Structure 1
């Protein structure tokens, strides 16, 4: 197991380096200094407390959607429907957060649970279709992504949720916010305190929220379920070998539905966190936001390990947020970062390539040593 983990870590690090190398070659091709671009990306993510805070804000939904994909992967399923689960989670959270007045502490909890419940239903449907009718989860989840998108837009057509003369929903109530410090940041006492602590002010100015804590807790919970519980054992057993699991008395259909429901809950939570902690409303969508699809990349970078989704999500967010400054500082298309991430995922998806290269190098090294021994003899 330790050797396997080391191999995953080695492949991931090498894939990241290969992504940066290919990105550097492309930058050279368009006349941009790769080292200068790399400096902009790194400093753009960590140079100031505000930048670090924004990186963490953007990493939060990616960690959760990455967890969603990773959990399903560990049970033999491919949750490509995280985008739709994210959308319905956002929709449910904004309905509860904006239209259901509740006490401050209870309100965000209920809104978060509503978002997770919507994700459970959306993910559970995929599991139900596969378990009962044998429909491949990739097909049904992709279709449900579009259903979620148009369902959200349909709801936005009704005046009970849509602001007058706007394409946005009503903002969530202050009692539903999950931002750190919340209203205290804009109170007189809060402003006085933050003025006296500039670094803290810079760090807290972006919408840093409790979603990051929830994402870390969910990562630990997902790891614990998969590694330390009988439920996790059953779900993984079904993923490894359905026939053997059925022979062992495991209810395969139930396990498939439960696995996809848990995966859906995580993506639904990501949508709720963005509504309650960052955006404060939802808008009519012209296309998919790609949080669910980016979660696939995060999961792959983290080798489908729940705990590894935390640094993988932060890395993804740092690259995209820091890379967004390439255009303004170097007049370079920021899309180069998407190419780098794509190359990283491309190489991570080919672990056998690195193993073949490693075997070839070891073989060449062995042949060289053999030749040296014969010459000495």
Structure 2
């Protein structure tokens, strides 16, 4: 069996195993699994409104997944996507409420501010990794908390007068569209999905079609060999983190300029940045795989809200299924071993 086919089969098998084990857990705890999955489907695709909400949820998942995957493809583990998303969200809303400009200028400016904020937040661990060899996992985890509390301070003390949320952004900075909302029975679907799909192409193009992308992947594969070949390892590490952070910042813009239209005090993390790790993992760190993984996670998250209403099954069981899927993807070497055994027997 070819390695390409194996790479496709592993996440599919992981999803199936997660669903099967989730079904067993439902039966053992006395819930009707078939009713739960029917409610899940109806809550995700049973109505045009729910479908719009799924696509809306998929949008930041794609960008967060790209942020994690880009860093991983270049040998780095960016756990700070959540923090980069938060500062991107804050920067986008800041521009959205501070100016009132023509939409053709204001919206791109707000989106660009989010990308730059995320890129800057990722530059710090990238620089520390390149200059002092400080492990990026430790720094990015800590910077998540810094981002959360700094954003809360700015919302309360700078962008509002001791309020828990900012004013709504000007219409000239919003990604929301009356056309899309009317098309999906007034869901919160916005044009951010177009930006997310463009970023999918950008990631593919950078990594697969440019010499700089080759350098980034080479540094991730073997830093010493890359340095021996004349590549600037330190600058490539920083650049990789900056691009990853820009994707994460854009994920924040999708929330600030699209879904909500404001920034608010957060009692905890949004979870989107951390879910991006699972999306990238399930998608095999590839652009196309990330789209399908984000669609699955978005459908599960939105559809699960209907489970308690229609079937009486707590939506926390979906989180268990997601955790099981991630577990099986993380232990994919076991699935690969089984596939190899089966294919070897078939060859004999």
Same fold (TM over 0.5): yes
CA distance in 1, matches of 2:42, 2:269: 29
In the other structure, the counterpart of 1:98 is: 97
Report matched runs for 1:62-211 at 5 Å.
62-158=61-157, 160-162=158-160, 166-181=163-178, 201=182, 203=184, 205-211=186-192
In the other structure, the counterpart of 1:341 is: 322
TM-score (norm 2): 0.96
Report matched runs for 1:204-353 at 5 Å.
205-353=186-334
Closer, same or farther: CA 365–259 of 1 in aligned 2, 3 Å: closer
Deviations 1:142-164 (A, max 9, x none): 01000000100111231x412x5
Report the secondary structure of 1:344's partner residue.
helix
Which blocks of at least 5 consecutive residues in structure 2 are unaligned? Answer: none
Deviation at residue 166 of structure 1 after TM alignment: 3.5
Report the secondary structure of 2:13's partner residue.
helix
CA distance in 2, matches of 1:120, 1:365: 49
Which blocks of at least 5 consecutive residues in structure 1 are unaligned? Answer: 186-193, 195-199, 370-377
In the other structure, the counterpart of 2:11 is: 12
Equivalent residue pairs, number: 348
Deviations 1:217-239 (A, max 9, x none): 00011011100101100000000
Conserved? CA contact 2:155–2:163, under 8 Å: no
Deviation at residue 3 of structure 1 after TM alignment: 2.4
In the other structure, the counterpart of 1:372 is: none
CA distance in 1, matches of 2:236, 2:182: 47
Deviation at residue 361 of structure 1 after TM alignment: 3.8
CA distance in 1, matches of 2:76, 2:185: 38
Conserved? CA contact 2:300–2:318, under 8 Å: yes
Closer, same or farther: CA 204–132 of 1 in aligned 2, 3 Å: farther
Deviations 1:126-179 (A, max 9, x none): 110100011101000001000000100111231x412x5741111101111111
In the other structure, the counterpart of 1:375 is: none
CA distance in 1, matches of 2:231, 2:225: 9
CA distance in 1, matches of 2:202, 2:115: 15
CA distance in 1, matches of 2:66, 2:203: 8
TM-score (norm 1): 0.89
- Indicate the structure (1 or 2) with the bigger Cα radius of gyration: 1
Conserved? CA contact 1:71–1:306, under 8 Å: no
Report the secondary structure of 1:157's partner residue.
helix
Deviation at residue 4 of structure 1 after TM alignment: 2.3
In the other structure, the counterpart of 2:338 is: 357
Deviation at residue 204 of structure 1 after TM alignment: 5.2
RMSD: 1.7
Deviation at residue 272 of structure 1 after TM alignment: 0.9
CA distance in 1, matches of 2:259, 2:339: 45
